[in-house]
A and B are shown apart, each in its own frame.
Chain A
Amino acid sequence: MSINQRKKRLNKKEQYKYMTRLGWDPTYQKSEDVYPYLKMEGIKIHDWEAWEDPFRMTMDSYWKLQAEKDKKLYSIIDAFAQNNAQKNISDARYVNALKLFLTGVTPLEYKVVQGFSHVARAFRGEGASIACQMQAIDELRHFQTQVHTMSHYNKYFDGFHDYAKAHDRVWYLSVPKSFGDDASTAGPFEFLTAISFSFEFVLTSLLFVPFMSGAAYNGDMATVTFGFSAQSDESRHMTLGLSAIKFILEQDPDNVPIVQEWMDKWLWRGYRLLGLVAMMMDYMLPNSPTSWAESVELYIEQNCIALYKDLERYGIELPTDTINTIIAEKGHLSHQVWNIFYNHTNAAAFHTWMPDEEKMNWLSEKYPDTFDKYYRPMFERYIELEKKGERFYSETLPIICQTCQIPLGFTDIEGGNPHVYTHETSEFNGEKFHFCSKGCKHVFEKQPEKYTQAWLPPHQIFQGNCGGATIPEVLKWYKIENGVDNLDYVGSPDEAMWNKLKNN
């Protein structure tokens, strides 16, 4: 028996202090050498101590809770596999939404791990630094759980085989990749505004709610469980995002215009990225709980505007032009993006298809002003060609936007020309640059030095950097097996596998 009396337990505040006491004042190095990124962006922070990690009091239970959540998730994934639950989804077309999520969104999560780790190192205050480290850990967990949740489908369906290489090489994945690269190569304050505020706070519901409710409506309980597991983290991230922005704005009035610029930029970039979600909601889910237009009404016209209202007292203004464009485009976006992918499914790692009559009617009902007028006739023509055995795949490559890297497939809705592609141009250093929208042109013109470095897939193919000049050569370089991972759903090995699964 020890004669030393056991020390009293620390209280929560002290525990947090000892667990997170990672800051120090440099003595033999200059502070600006230790924290080289702090002044770079022009943001002025006078008192780092004014930002306390809003979750400091729950730090102790964090590890336990996360461990429990992981345990639950993995036991459900295990049960999903044991029970062949891939058979319980609505239709194999749904799996293509998962392919898009795994190849498009999951690597973005990993990019965010890197970004938050970098920001944690760059910030001077302990609270800010710890909050960012914890978020980096969460994002890493999300990345891992997403890969594990969807890996089961890899046993049965094509296109899941090499998401990491796909992210670096495949043309449409340069859209999320460039988004993540742009954010994580920005300074720490811009990164925080881009991801914590614009993406996690303003736009996250537009990404996660449709994906998870889509999964639920289509019988994919593994993905629903992953969504639940990540959801409590997401609400924590949203709280952090807002508190971080308020802290920066409160520190100095000079910060307000800088932050406003970033908010405008990242709302636009995030919205463009979510075009992928728009087409998923309206076309890729066999059972669609909500249309893209309805989501815009809820999350942009109501929620987003309310969020910005909260920041008005700091001098932040609602980006009215951007919001107006989002609202104007809401009846067109998903159809236009699906058309882009239908044109180019010969070079994609998932399948596309034309909606059946029931789906067409659902689209007419959800889009009474646009679908029958602008899109149904076009899609009916595709169906006619399919019937003749002439399924249309583009033999030529698209012009893509220098900023968002999406093909110039959006039309001039606000200008009253819904049948004419919007095309903006700019010049820098004696060279022409092309954009899909005023928003993307504006982003470019603020920092042309950054976007002239963009790795644009069609141009890289033309430069000879992607395995060759023909589609089969490029597909080989993408690690996409022609006739297996790509082309129409009808006639694909996925369809054959699904019919076999359902009939056994």
Chain B
Amino acid sequence: MSIKSIGEYPIIMKDSVENFNGNQVVYLYWYGHRVVSSPRAFPLPPEMPFGAIISDLIPITYKVEPDYEDLDFENLEVIWEVDGKVIEPDFSKSLKENGVGHKSFIQFTTPTLTGKVGA
């Protein structure tokens, strides 16, 4: 089943990167954490340093998770994945330089913080 049409069917890429005013869309997920009801989406400049995910995005997104207070990026083991591939990010370098593209899915896993819920 492909598109059946009586005329030529246009290909409209509604969410091409050029429609986002210089930003690219990036998704973020703290693996196994469900109080935040789904992974989140952000419009971000490709030049934004990767470290801003930790300083700016994670607090506004995940502060409601009970694990958040123990989320210490200096001292915890954290596994970063971009589009399913494990990476070792250089936090001072840009998203782009760390391989984050338009509509990339960034997942971080904290093996010692697995998403406890409850008080």
Which of A's residues lie within 8 Å of B, judged by CB?
A: 36-37, 40-42, 187, 258, 261-262, 265, 336, 339-340, 342-344, 374, 377-378, 380-381, 384-385, 392, 394-400, 407-409, 411, 419-421, 423, 425, 429, 431-434, 446-447, 449-450, 452-456, 458-459, 462-464
Contact = CB atoms under 8 A, between A and B. Distances in A.
Given A380-B118, A431-B13, A42 B66 contact: no
A399 B40 CA distance: 5
B32 A258 contact: no
A477 B48 CA distance: 29
Given A449-B11, A463-B20, A40 B37 contact: no
Contact of A40 (B2, B4, B61, B119): B4
Contacts of A449: 2-3, 9, 11
A41 B15 CA distance: 28
A409 B38 contact: yes
Given A377-B118, A419-B114, A434-B27, 18 more contacts: A36-B6, A37-B6, A187-B4, A343-B36, A380-B119, A381-B117, A394-B36, A394-B37, A407-B38, A431-B13, A432-B83, A447-B1, A449-B2, A452-B12, A452-B13, A456-B14, A459-B15, A459-B25
22 contacts: A340-B38, A343-B36, A378-B117, A381-B35, A381-B117, A381-B119, A394-B37, A397-B42, A398-B39, A398-B41, A399-B27, A399-B41, A399-B105, A409-B38, A420-B32, A432-B105, A434-B27, A447-B1, A447-B2, A449-B2, A456-B14, A462-B25
A36 B102 CA distance: 40
B99 interface: no
Nearest to A432: B103
Nearest to B103: A432
Q: Range of interface residues on chain B?
A: 35 or more
- Going nearest first, the 6 A-B pairs with the smallest beta carbon separation are A377-B118, A407-B38, A462-B43, A409-B38, A343-B37, A378-B117
Contacts of A431: 13, 15-16, 102-103
Nearest to B19: A463
A421 B39 contact: yes
A469 to B, nearest CB: 8
Contacts of A258: 1
B1 A456 contact: no
A83 to B, nearest CB: 40
Contacts, number: 146
B57 to A, nearest CB: 8
A420 B15 CA distance: 27
Interface in B1-57: 1-6, 9, 11-16, 19-21, 23, 25, 27, 29, 31-32, 34-43, 57
A421 B29 contact: yes
Contacts of A423: 29, 39, 105
A456 B15 contact: yes
A40 B7 CA distance: 10
Contact of B34 (A396, A419, A458): A419
A384 B103 contact: no
B5 A453 contact: no
Nearest to A375: B117
Given A423-B29, A449-B9, A42 B37 contact: no
Given A394-B36, A396-B40, A407-B38, A462 B23 contact: yes
B29 to A, nearest CB: 7
Nearest to A393: B64
**Residue among B20, B83, B117 with most chain A CB within 10 A:** B117
B115 interface: yes
A289 B87 CA distance: 50
B110 interface: no
B104 interface: yes
B25 A41 contact: no
A429 B11 contact: yes
Contacts of B32: 419-420
Given A423-B29, A446-B1, A408 B11 contact: no
Nearest to B13: A452
Contacts of B5: 40
B37 A340 contact: yes
Given A432-B103, A447-B2, A449-B11, A408 B39 contact: yes
Contacts of A344: 37
A462 B14 contact: no
Nearest to B42: A396
B41 A458 contact: yes
A211 B55 CA distance: 46
A454 B14 contact: yes
B110 to A, nearest CB: 13
A301 B22 CA distance: 49
A481 B1 CA distance: 44
Interface in B75-119: 83-84, 101-105, 114-115, 117-119
Contacts of B4: 40-42, 187
B14 to A, nearest CB: 5
A343 B37 CA distance: 7
